[in-house]
Chain A
């Protein structure tokens, strides 16, 4: 390793945060609540999803506490059902789905394509309001007594047997769905129509490609979930419907419609995270992403294949054996583009000048954990092993490796990476590296034992379990405690850095994206004049020449 760090900050004694920027442009609550500025809306989103992340996280803490002992010691079984349901609903619909797109994507995509704003600023704001309405509906549900169907709303459990607040939760997810549809729609339109001169499709940063693919899934998949939930709500209100066998309906039809969205939703959640990783890996190994085109198209391939694999969630539900075979094979197919990404990132690292700033540490965490999560997905995608492993803790471990080990790591990586751009100040490096390591250790302690528990046969979604599983559960709960610390730390030091962080300057990472060529925090219009893209993406030589020119002209 040649350099220990690539960070280059301006002289701290003279550096100032630019007086005019998107944060200082206007003051007052109304200027925020009625804003059309994508960066302000991203900030609103960041605050709101962090809030819901910690609610969802506390619920996860309660789950782990309950599972510390084999008996139902902390809460009654039906309370436990409500807790894990609310955890799932909040984490999936109010955190993971909007996490990277609505915050980081909202903030950087217009800048990355060289535009002044997203194509439809009012729709963007509407999307945030819908999110907030959905959030309030979920909070109402919790206050009113919660819901205990699991985040999957399995029928006829949700339509017939339970008397909890299925309707308000269902409608909340309906509203949150439209929030996500509008974000996705806005991204697609922006990426097609708002690119600056010279910004061709293959000069776009890979983060944009990844969000483009996720947006397609949002626009085409989410409405199916929306109508499914409408049908569930109707079924509960008029007591006739297409899902409940007691009325002649088909619960497997519900599963088809639900997973038609909810499998692609996994890619809605992970693709933007993959985009973050592409940016971070390239920046901190000072190399163009290996196989740019392959990585770009693998995002689109994941989006397309993602629509043809949903029935792998239904192998044990009584679907046709022949259909199970087809869906199983197609599921193997979708592993290919994900593997392409992992290999290309590895090749990008090869012979790169790697430095280990916090975003890079999180990115490494992502690559390792996502690979494990993805590979165990192949176990679950093959019909034979799925029958043994499904509905056990193996599933829980698998999707937490992908969603928490993958997406949450990517989210934190991205937050640290773009924090200097967002606020104009650096986060404290040492403590954040420490937090990244703590997160990684805590994560593995929490979720790795669950793979073993799953193969041993511990079923998911029960408050009590046979005593022989206790040792591993204690491990898992201890790990969750460490993980909790790992997530609290960033909130503390990032808040601290708002006032005391070092002034970042325009481009502390020496990164090549257009967003780094403007001031931090950016102006409301992002750029002084419409930028012209005259180089390829991740062109570090261009950046060097650019900097030499600047030095020469100043001198």
Chain B
């Protein structure tokens, strides 16, 4: 029953750590990021319009597309440049934890701002 959890984690990570990402993948990611940059600049000059979901709630496509492209670029950097795709569950959990708390800060603050005018139309 005596086990070594800490050692186990290390062992698991150890196997992952020596996964050396090939330069070909790095190059592909670089190209994808540059294409993404071009795409987002190009898209910013076109009026993509907006979507009236409900009264008082409108989605503007330009910022939505720009942020979507930025998120995609971030995911590529995190997964490949930062090796998270090849890392342990702990690293993945850490990244998820950061994203979650970041969204909690923005999201929960927004609940206040968005609902302040409710019932006052």
Contacts and interface: CB of A to CB of B under 8 A. Distances in A.
A and B touch in the complex (CB under 8 A): yes
Interface of A: 192-201, 220, 224, 252-253, 256-257, 260, 307-308, 310-311, 319-323, 326, 532-534
Given A224-B105, A308-B104, A319 B112 contact: yes
A529 B12 CA distance: 25
B6 A199 contact: yes
Contact of A196 (B6, B9, B108): B6
- How many interface residues does chain B have, given as a range? 20 to 34
Nearest to A256: B109
24 contacts: A192-B9, A195-B4, A195-B6, A196-B4, A196-B6, A197-B2, A197-B3, A197-B6, A197-B7, A198-B2, A199-B4, A200-B3, A220-B97, A253-B109, A257-B109, A310-B108, A319-B112, A319-B116, A321-B115, A322-B111, A322-B115, A323-B115, A326-B111, A534-B2
B118 A198 contact: no
B101 interface: yes
Q: Is the interface of B mostly helix, strand, loop or mixed?
A: helix
A505 B109 CA distance: 54
Interface in B91-106: 97-98, 101, 104-105
Nearest to A114: B6
A200 B5 contact: yes
Nearest to A323: B112
A322 B118 contact: yes
A155 to B, nearest CB: 15
Given A193-B9, A322-B115, A308 B108 contact: yes
Contacts of A310: 108
B10 interface: yes
B115 A320 contact: yes
A307 B104 contact: yes
Interface string B1-28: 0111111011000000000000000000
Given A322-B118, A326-B111, A198 B90 contact: no
B6 to A, nearest CB: 4
A253 B101 CA distance: 17
A256 B101 contact: no
A320 B90 CA distance: 38
A553 B80 CA distance: 58
Contacts of B3: 197-198, 200
A323 B5 CA distance: 42
A370 B115 CA distance: 35
Contacts of A252: 112
A260 B109 CA distance: 9
Interface in B68-121: 90, 97-98, 101, 104-105, 108-109, 111-116, 118
A489 B113 CA distance: 51
Given A192-B9, A308-B104, A532 B112 contact: no
A199 B101 contact: no
Contact of A192 (B6, B108, B116): B6
Contacts of B5: 195, 199-201
A224 B105 CA distance: 9
A532 B116 CA distance: 57
